[in-house]
Amino acid sequence: MTLAPLVPLPERVGCLVLGGGIAGAATAYHLARRGERSVLLYEPKTPNAGASGRAAGILTDQQWNEWDVEVARETVKEYEELSHRHPHMGFARNGFLRWTTHPLAAEAIDVAYRRMRRWGVSVDRIGPADLRAAFPWGRFDDVLAGLRGTADAVVTPSATTDAYLAEARDLGADVWFGDGPAQLRAEPSGFQLRARHRTIAARTTVVAAGAWSKALLRSIGQGLALTPYRVQAATLRPPDPPPERFPSGHDLDTDVYFRPEGPGRVLAGDGTERVEADPDRFVTTGDPGFVTHLAESVRRRLPGWEGSELIRAWAGVCTATPDRRPHVGAVDPSQGLYCIVGFNGYGVMRAGGAARRLVDLLVEGPGGRASDRLVPVDPRRFPTSPPDFPPHPGFTLEGGDEPRF
């Protein structure tokens, strides 16, 4: 199905955004909001066709470095403000609790707590009694340590993408999707997008294509340290329906997380595969092994949910980087080529704040505060022809972000 833009498209635009997920939509919105009146977002399929349509939607600033903390906090604030105009986003501040039974992980929690408090994160140390109060259907007597983010939230990622796109259009941006695969070709001043029905030139091009970004950039001779990887999640209906709003939870021992997903339902997952995946050829349903692991984790830790109905289990493809930081900034500034990719499964948590910072760079130019705010995630921090590497994503408690080639 081809979904035409609301108005005829120009032959040349000031800024072309490639990708209709939450990062691309947020970038188009911020460009239009900052006064760029010639913005085109192109998505070859439909909005949310990639990871944004399959994401968990947990928002937390329990991050492992200060840049991520600041960006996650900015993102939550932006989503909350956006949700006042778009209540279907499902934004709610419900808190986020994490716990462990292992002594070494308990020590890591203590270190992470002190580090986060220095960064101004609203986080508390918790124990079994706090967990029982939050999740009365659970069993937590063996828990040694835990963390509670009191300002953390949830949101519906696909609805948030839709809200960004609606606002971008209202501000004058064009949105074009459903026209199939496109090619990028360099021209003397920027790039040219060639899709099935049109050819459009752009002064500035932003790649926000998620798991497809690696192949897209390679097609124009640009290597970027990226590895697409598969993740899985499921929607459950517990036998005794939980309240409509309760905190999100994350068992650090099994890496299983869960969050409220509408009346009587729960979204849960881990299912991260640590090998490279092809975003055009992967199994989109949940594996039996993942479903079994989820059921065993629920039976051991959340016995009140044992026997939950499995509504559906699915998979998507995220993109990892060697140091778990995304790539946000210039790929080849001489050609006006930029990117906002590689979120390691944290794209929804970072998209709003990261897009705002990227657009600051595009509007204000290099050499100022906008450039300084993107130094930790500069795409050129790795070799131009990086080696392949296994993905290393997850809700880590580690403080370092060293490359893992």
Note the pLDDT tens digit of each residue in 286-296.
999 999 999 99
> What is the Cα–Cα distance from 242 to 264, expressed in whole angstroms?
6
Contact 101, 143 (CB under 8 A): yes
Largest CA distance in the chain: 66
Give the tokens for residue 102.
């292992």
Identity of the residue numbered 337: L
3-state secondary structure of 95: coil
Residue with tokens 């509504």, as numbered in its chain: 311
Looking at 55-208, list the stretches that DSSP marks H as alpha helix, in order from N- to C-terminal side: 66-85, 103-118, 128-134, 157-170
- The percent of residues in the chain predicted with pLDDT above 70, rounded, is 95
pLDDT tens digit string along 297-320? 999 999 999 999 999 999 999 999
> What is the Cα–Cα distance from 310 to 43, expressed in whole angstroms?
32
Q: Whole-number mean pLDDT of the chain?
A: 91
**Which pLDDT belongs to residue 398?**
54
Residue with tokens 């001779």, as numbered in its chain: 221
Contact 187, 199 (CB under 8 A): no
Range 114-132 burial, b when 16+ CB lie within 10 A, else e: ebbeebebebeebebebbe
> What is the Cα–Cα distance from 188 to 97, expressed in whole angstroms?
52
What would the mean pLDDT of 164-172 be, rounded to a whole number? 96
Give the tokens for residue 279.
């975003």
> What is the Cα–Cα distance from 39 to 18, expressed in whole angstroms?
11
- Cβ burial of 106 (10 Å; 0-12, 13-18, 19+) is middle
* Distances in whole angstroms, Cα of residue 166 to Cα of each of 32, 155, 169, 347, 380: 11, 17, 5, 20, 32
> What is the Cα–Cα distance from 305 to 137, expressed in whole angstroms?
7
Contact 67, 363 (CB under 8 A): no
Count of Cβ atoms closer than 10 Å to residue 263 Cβ: 10
DSSP characters over 374-405: TGGG-GGGS-SSPPP-----SS---S------
Q: Any idea which architecture 95-153+227-320 has in CATH?
A: 2-Layer Sandwich (3.30)
**Which pLDDT belongs to residue 159?**
96
**Which pLDDT belongs to residue 178?**
83
**Which pLDDT belongs to residue 383?**
85
> What is the Cα–Cα distance from 254 to 148, expressed in whole angstroms?
18
What are the domain boundaries of the chain?
1-94+154-226+322-405, 95-153+227-320
What would the mean pLDDT of 139-145 be, rounded to a whole number? 97
Count of Cβ atoms closer than 10 Å to residue 221 Cβ: 9
pLDDT at residue 341 is higher than 80: yes
Per-residue confidence band for 280, with pLDDT thresholds at 50, 70 and 90: very high
Pairing relation of β-strands 256-260 and 266-270? antiparallel
pLDDT at residue 207 is higher than 70: yes
pLDDT at residue 391 is higher than 90: no
CATH class of the domain comprising 1-94+154-226+322-405: alpha beta
**Which pLDDT belongs to residue 37?**
82
**Which pLDDT belongs to residue 64?**
83
- Cβ burial of 293 (10 Å; 0-12, 13-18, 19+) is middle
Give the tokens for residue 33.
């909001």
**Which pLDDT belongs to residue 385?**
78
Give the tokens for residue 377.
């995630």
DSSP state of 253: T
Total-model pTM: 0.94
